[in-house]
Structure 1
Amino acid sequence: MTTALDRVRAALTLHGHSGGITELPSAAPTAVAAAEQLACPVGAIANSLVFEADGKPLLIVASGGHRVDLRKAASHVGVRKVRRAAPEFVLEATGQEVGGVAPIGHPTPLRTLVDTALADYPQVWAGAGLPHTMFRTTFEELVALTGGEATAVGI
């Protein structure tokens, strides 16, 4: 059976990413917890957050130092309202559980916004499909890996 971690690893390999996946000592369900374990700034954590935009999944990869401005996101994608997705919706859209969602490795590609605040860091860390796994990347590579749109989404 293919796991979420396997799908993320396959997506990284497909895109030529050679950094590998880091297994943390314990689960890191928040950006603060991940930053503490990785000894990096919280803003360098790329939070993969799934929202509903007119009933469709919208992945927003936000800097751990920001909250997502839902009005700004809705305006950017051309919908009236963006709201946080229920855990079941997240699992169905990504094949991954809340607390370990990666920006890649989903059953089908998701429309993705990548927070431009992540460009402030020479390296960023993103979830790898499980609450205790992360991979190191750059802002530019993250945009390419996700096929995402770089935009300011934080407040």
Structure 2
Amino acid sequence: MTDALPTRSRLVAASLESAGIAGTIIVLPDAASTAALAAAALDIEVGAIANSLVFWSDDEPLLVMTSGAHRVDTRGLAERLGRGTIRRATPEQVLAATGQPIGGVAPTGHPAPLTTIVDEDLAAFPEIWAAGGTPHTVFPLTFDELVRLTGGTVAKVD
């Protein structure tokens, strides 16, 4: 029932429904603002967490959906993408670009589409979990659904 979800999560749920993705957003009792916390709360491998990281590159936000098992190599990713410097967005930039707080950024439900990179390592998991717009909400989907939902480019990010 989406009425019980926070406003930001309702936007994400509507986006999932529009995309034909069946994953239901669940509310966790405790915040899962890191991949490790989310994995522990869901009792899954940290690598199956699709961690939403917002960076700033070439004067625009760049959303990187990475496996929770590793960090993004911003220098290597910039080279592979033919971009200038990729640096972490500030909390204010994250909120402005996504409408969602750090620790709860979903792959969808943003004010406008974001250029998105999807970590190729997430393809190893039959089911992955992503934030649902707040640090207390998450939802399941497949790698293919994540790529389709975000219109993302699959790439090596670590």
- Residue 34 (structure 1) shift: 0.3
Normalised TM-score (structure 1): 0.95
Please tell me whether residue 132 in structure 1 is matched to residue 136 in structure 2.
Answer: yes
Q: Flag structure 1 segments of 5+ consecutive residues without an equivalent.
A: none
Aligned residues: 153
Q: Which residue of 2 aligns with 1:59?
A: 63
Q: Which residue of 1 aligns with 2:3?
A: none
Q: Which residue of 2 aligns with 1:4?
A: 8
Query: Residue 113 of structure 1: which of 113, 117, 134 is its match?
Result: 117
Normalised TM-score (structure 2): 0.94
Q: Tell me, yes or no, if the aligned pair for 2:9 and 2:25 is still in contact at 8 Å.
A: no
**Distance across 2 between alignment mates of 1:51 and 1:3:** 24
- Residue 19 (structure 1) shift: 2.1
Q: How is 1:137-152 mapped onto 2 (pairs within 5 angstroms)? A: 137-152=141-156
Query: Residue 76 of structure 2: which of 52, 72, 75 is its match?
Result: 72
Please tell me whether residue 20 in structure 1 is matched to residue 24 in structure 2.
Answer: yes
Q: Tell me, yes or no, if the aligned pair for 2:47 and 2:69 is still in contact at 8 Å.
A: yes
Residues 104-139 of structure 1 show CA distances to partners (whole Å, capped at 9, x for unaligned) of: 110000000000110111100000001010010011
**Distance across 1 between alignment mates of 2:10 and 2:151:** 20
Q: Which residue of 2 aligns with 1:81?
A: 85
Please tell me whether residue 43 in structure 1 is matched to residue 59 in structure 2.
Answer: no
- Residue 72 (structure 1) shift: 2.1
- Residue 77 (structure 1) shift: 2.9
